[in-house]
Amino acid sequence: MMAEVILEVEGLKQYFEISEELTIKAVDGVSFKIHDGEVFGLVGETGCGKSTIARAVSGIYRPTAGRILYRGLDTSERKVHETMRRECQMIFQDSGAALNPRMTVEKIIQEPLKLNGLTGGSDAASDGVQSMLQKVGMDSMYMTKYPTELSGGQRQRVAIARSLIINPKLVIADEPIASLDISIQAQIINLFRELQSAAGFSFLFIAHDLSVVRYISNRTGVMLHGRLVELAETEELFENPVHPYTRSLLSAIHVPDPLYERNKVFSEYDTGQQLGEEFVEKSPGHFVLEG
Ligand SMILES: Nc1ncnc2c1ncn2[C@@H]1O[C@H](COP(=O)(O)OP(=O)(O)OP(=O)(O)O)[C@@H](O)[C@H]1O
Ligand SMILES: [Mg+2]
């Protein structure tokens, strides 16, 4: 039995007209679904259109073509968009850096509750903030601190706490670890994993790095030049990659297994070549761009 679909991106195209001669096709016909409680990973090189998808989903752009459905309803309708806004949270690479420097950690985490009219008594709200802070691995002594008094990793934890305090149904994280030190990245990924499995929200997780996505997502889509070139359950994608671009990404990953590393064949893919037209289901749930 499949869980219900919470988010569907259907034939999305997002073009930017730069001048009469130049239109950037940032997203050029992308479709995927995210089910309740599922972690969907989206990967691909810089400029392939990942953030544009995240922004289109959150309603910042009006799609050039295609639709974004939330629980089966078109988000171009105001009511549906508003429901989605209430139930969906976004986390960015620089969310931690963008925290209001004049607010304490407590006020920052509390703010979404206030904005959504969800503060009961202020004691209850304060307890909620404290327990959220603990869930992201920070001691309650940080409640009274200001963002400038925290490290980059701690600020991103606060941003995550702020996003999760209203129990979102869907979380969209656009490269949420990219600006952190390597040593901190693993901690934050672990944190996301724990929080997602405890709270059970659906999760669109965007990253450059396939190895990060492998660790966190149930299904993974690989993007190139505004298109999805391959989409499959994550383990299937890693075990049976079909598209040469996916293969080249996989061959670039370091796997901490000497036998695997010794037998690894580097595969190069010329990203300048023409992409196929048809997204074909090669085996159940495993789609590849062909033609
Ligand atoms: N608002 C915009 N106006 C014009 N062009 C844009 C706009 N937003 C994105 N683009 C272009 O669309 C393409 C896709 O950009 P996008 O930011 O979605 O890529 P990305 O996959 O998120 O890259 P990165 O990994 O670097 O974050 C790029 O060529 C980018 O320059
Ligand atoms: Mg981006």
Q: Which residues pair with 3 in a beta bridge?
A: none
Q: Are the C-beta atoms of 137 and 186 separated by less than 8 Å?
A: no
Instruction: Indicate if the pLDDT at residue 261 is higher than 90.
Output: no
Tell which residue, 162, 202, 153, has the closest CA to residue 182: 153
Residue 118 has what pLDDT?
77
Q: Rounded to whole angstroms, what are the CA distances from 106 to 3, 94, 130, 148, 166?
A: 35, 19, 8, 14, 14
Ranking 131-140, 149-158, 206-215 by mean pLDDT, the lowest is 206-215
**pLDDT value, residue 30:** 98
Q: pLDDT category, 260, cuts 50, 70, 90?
A: low
Q: Are strands 73-74 and 65-70 parallel, antiparallel or unpaired?
A: antiparallel
Measured from the CB, is residue 50 less than 6 Å from ligand 1?
yes
The pTM for the full model equals 0.93
Instruction: Report the nearest-CA residue for atom 24 of ligand 1.
Output: 46
Q: How confident is the model at residue 235 (pLDDT cuts 50, 70, 90)?
A: very high
CB of 16 closer than 6 angstroms to any ligand 1 atom:
yes
Angle at 277 between CA 53 and CA 236, to 5 degrees: 70
At 257 the pLDDT is: 72
Task: Give residue 46 CA to ligand 1 midpoint distance, Å.
Answer: 8
Report whether pLDDT(286) > 80.
Answer: yes
Residue nearest to atom 26 of ligand 1 (CA): 46
Nearest CA to ligand 1 atom 25: 46
**Residue 52 near residue 61, CB atoms below 8 Å:** yes
Which ligand does the CA of 61 lie closest to?
1
Q: Which residue has the tokens 């991106």?
A: 9
Specify whether the backbone of 16 is left (phi greater than 0), alpha (psi in -120 to 50) or beta.
beta
Measured in Å, residue 244 CA sits from the centre of ligand 2 at: 23
The rounded distance, in Å, linking the Cα atoms of 107 and 53 is 31
Mutation test residue for ligand 1: of 28, 51, 206, 245, the one with most atoms within 8 Å of CB: 51
Q: What is the pLDDT at residue 121?
A: 60
Q: Which amino acid is at 231?
A: L
pLDDT of residue 170 exceeding 90, the answer is yes
Go through the domains of the chain in sequence order and give each one's CATH number.
Answer: 5-290 (3.40.50.300)
**Test site for ligand 1: of 50, 224, 227, most ligand atoms within 8 A of the Cβ:** 50
Report whether pLDDT(120) > 70: no
